[in-house]
């Protein structure tokens, strides 16, 4: 029966079986390793939203095809830039630590807004929900 399952599903199944244990203490340490504040300068280039991110002493860029995708990429790039191990990547990504307020999200969705800046603080409430 295992032979008839597509390779991708086999890999996902095996990963679940052999997934390393997540330790709450390590999760807390990695969450608090992320900066408390970030600054994002963004602009539109065709259908893409491109952003420059300043987080502590780190500066990097990311992009997204929509406002939601861009915010997702900002969060993922922060997790990558701060060397969060792959085992904890998914659970920290689910906390959506850096979510912008509604008015900033509306500006990102508005195609008439060509460029803007905003700052975000780490949402500690998201940590408590994780």
Q: What is the model's pLDDT at position 129?
A: 46
Residues 56, 75: Cα–Cα separation, whole Å: 14
Percentage of the chain beyond pLDDT 90 is 48
Does 25 or 14 have the greater pLDDT score?
Answer: 25
> What number is the average pLDDT over the span 52-66?
95
Question: Rounded to 5 degrees, what are φ and ψ at 98?
Answer: -110, 80
Instruction: Report the candidate in 117, 80, 72 with the shortest Cα–Cα distance to residue 98.
Output: 72
Q: What is the model's pLDDT at position 39?
A: 96
pTM: 0.77
3-state secondary structure of 42: strand
Instruction: Report the candidate in 35, 25, 21 with the shortest Cα–Cα distance to residue 87.
Output: 21
Residue 127 in this model has a pLDDT that exceeds 60: no
């Amino acid at each position: 029966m295992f032979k008839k399952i597509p390779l991708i599903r086999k890999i996902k199944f095996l990963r679940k079986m052999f997934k390393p244990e997540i330790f709450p203490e390590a999760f807390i340490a990695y969450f608090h390793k992320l900066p408390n504040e970030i600054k994002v300068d963004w602009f539109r280039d065709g259908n893409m939203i491109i952003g420059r991110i300043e987080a502590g002493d780190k500066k990097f860029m990311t992009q997204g095809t929509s406002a939601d995708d861009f915010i997702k990429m900002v969060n993922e790039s922060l997790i990558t830039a701060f060397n969060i191990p792959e085992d904890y990547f998914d659970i920290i990504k689910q906390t959506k630590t850096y979510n912008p307020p509604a008015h900033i999200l509306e500006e990102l969705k508005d195609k008439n807004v060509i460029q803007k800046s905003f700052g975000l603080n780490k949402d500690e409430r998201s940590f408590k929900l994780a």
